[in-house]
């Protein structure tokens, strides 16, 4: 069992990174790697290989766009909400490959879509510690306004913030890119339908089991 101050230290680092993202909006893959290493710097088992088992996560997410564009026009940045389920299995020493299913609602234009895709995770130590991940998913249209398309890319970090024998409470921070292909004109009835893109940063809380 890890001491209480161990989890406090991890939580403090997570919030420090989140504040940095909100302030500078400059989260990169390099930042993620360095932060993950910092979180697990007290690890004594850097050569640890992941156990061969299925790992599942379920989480609720909130995304604050930094930019939403339709063709060349900038639209108001409105929140996006969602839920995500993943299941992963290790392929290599520190890497897992998994499937993703979920739902996302974009407040700007009231767009709803079911999300199906894949996820690649890298664990800095083991399943109970930090990992970074890349997600690629298809938006299956629920709203009649859009077509289904392979359109969602996400890069993120996942941290444990509390642990139980049966599950781990996790926090995720991530950069998110979403693409929506419209069936009908959005701003001008005489235009050809275009696409809406949303870039932003998000946070989610969930369970790993």
150-203: pLDDT as tens digits: 889 999 999 999 988 888 999 999 999 999 999 988 887 778 899 999 999 999
Strand partners, 32: none
The CATH number of the domain where 179 resides is what?
2.40.160
Strand partners, 132: 122, 157
Give domain status of residue 142, yes or no: yes
Spatial CB neighbours of 182, under 8 Å, sequence gap ≥ 6: 70, 145, 146, 147, 193, 194, 195, 196
* Domain hosting residue 67, numbered range: 4-44+55-208
Give domain status of residue 28, yes or no: yes
* Encoded tokens for 161: 């913030």
Provide the number of structural domains found in the chain: 1
Give domain status of residue 49, yes or no: no
Reported pTM: 0.76
> pLDDT tens, 67-77?
999 988 999 99
Orientation angle between helical segments 4-24 and 29-39, nearest 10 degrees:
160
Spatial CB neighbours of 77, under 8 Å, sequence gap ≥ 6: 64, 65, 66, 67, 68, 108, 200
Give domain status of residue 69, yes or no: yes
């Amino acid at each position: 069992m890890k001491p209480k101050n161990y989890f406090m230290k991890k939580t403090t680092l997570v919030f420090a990174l989140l504040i940095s993202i909100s302030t500078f909006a400059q989260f990169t893959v390099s930042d993620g790697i360095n932060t993950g290493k910092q979180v697990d710097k007290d690890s004594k088992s850097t050569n640890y290989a992941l156990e061969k088992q299925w790992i599942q996560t379920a989480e609720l997410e909130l995304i604050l766009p930094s930019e939403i564009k339709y063709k060349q026009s900038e639209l108001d940045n409105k929140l996006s909400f969602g839920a995500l389920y993943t299941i992963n299995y290790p392929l290599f020493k520190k890497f897992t490959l998994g499937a993703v299913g979920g739902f996302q609602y974009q407040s700007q234009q009231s767009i709803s879509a079911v999300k199906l895709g894949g996820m690649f995770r890298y664990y800095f130590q083991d399943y109970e510690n930090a990992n970074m991940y890349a997600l690629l998913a298809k938006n299956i249209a629920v709203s009649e306004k859009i077509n289904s398309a392979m359109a969602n890319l996400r890069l993120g970090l996942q941290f444990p913030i509390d642990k139980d024998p049966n599950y781990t409470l996790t926090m995720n921070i991530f950069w998110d890119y979403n693409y929506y292909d419209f069936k009908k004109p959005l701003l001008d009835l005489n235009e050809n339908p275009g696409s809406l893109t949303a870039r932003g940063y998000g946070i989610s809380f969930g369970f790993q089991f």
